[in-house]
Structure 1
């Protein structure tokens, strides 16, 4: 497993599942063509591009390139790196039939080929996971203890947190954890929590 600084952009949940077993890093799904109309997702990608950069890893078919090109049109090219998978033909195990173009997507590519594609991309700060000292991460337990999940007013309070950080309102507590860790460190998160608590107490 390798650790990657950039946020890795893939098309769907099965791509994300496949990649999660190979890399230690933030993986964001475009939801396929939903990215074309999802302004909040694009705004999130812009923020991630500013803080850590993006690594786009879409399928090698025409749909994958349409998605890749759309993201490129919204974000400065110097903040994006590209990983390309080769044109390999076949079908994924979970599917009854091959894709329209007959090419394997990210989920169907051999793990070693995927890793080699990522290495060739020139992604910065690639290292073997666990090779450097781990800093304190924000966890799901932190969100629970700070009142952003699991409580009667958690959803309302979480919306305040999302607005404070300029994040999409539809982010769930589960999805929020890796995004928070990509944008702020634990100490910065604690400062935001204190600010929110003071604001709510004064309302």
Structure 2
């Protein structure tokens, strides 16, 4: 699988893992202390080839995603659920611990951020599905992030992300029906 866009990752271990899974070029942020030089490289790459942000599914990874998105709008985003990015023998979480197949799947499901359209998914929709305001909301949001491949979110981030990725109410309904059925099967 060849990736046209340049993939933004956190470090050299992520680059090595990405390159073992797909044919792609990367830019490393070297952690969350991203300097202006790296941001300019990302901006240049976005103008020339496009950029996919593919950071670790943890707080520092989300922080990097946010910083890059603020400085370089219109980047695409790939997400890997935490359970697929866990190290086998320690507590580490990162892209470098994922399997080649999981990396290929995450990059194959890339979303492009777009402006939020009013009137799409609402807070009431999220309440109705128990994604906010219920004791099991965090678990449901995490499962939804995996099913839709949009990453882990809190309630406020979820509404914004669903609308930015133009997830339709039909796609939300389908994903939630799957999650509800899985919950029933677990009981």
Classify the TM-score, shorter chain: 0.5 to 0.7
**Residue number in structure 2 paired with 1:118:** 107
**Residue number in structure 2 paired with 1:107:** 96
> 1:122 offset after TM fit, Å?
5.0
Aligned counterparts of 1:97 and 1:23: Cα–Cα separation in 2: 26
Aligned counterparts of 1:109 and 1:25: Cα–Cα separation in 2: 17
Aligned counterparts of 1:90 and 1:34: Cα–Cα separation in 2: 22
Give 3-state SS (helix, strand or coil) of 1:28's partner: strand
Aligned counterparts of 2:85 and 2:104: Cα–Cα separation in 1: 20
Aligned counterparts of 2:86 and 2:67: Cα–Cα separation in 1: 26
Aligned counterparts of 1:43 and 1:89: Cα–Cα separation in 2: 31
> 1:91 offset after TM fit, Å?
4.6
Q: Within 5 A, what are the aligned runs for 1:1-150?
A: 2-35=1-34, 38-77=35-74, 80-88=75-83, 91-92=86-87, 97-99=90-92, 104-121=93-110
The answer on whether the counterparts of 1:10 and 1:29 sit within 8 Å (CA) in structure 2 is yes
Give 3-state SS (helix, strand or coil) of 2:14's partner: helix
Change (3 A) 1:86 1:75: same
Where in structure 2 are there 5+ consecutive unaligned residues?
113-187
The answer on whether the counterparts of 1:90 and 1:98 sit within 8 Å (CA) in structure 2 is no
Q: Within 5 A, what are the aligned runs for 1:118-197?
A: 118-121=107-110
> 1:90 offset after TM fit, Å?
7.5
Runs of 4+ with deviation above 3 angstroms: none
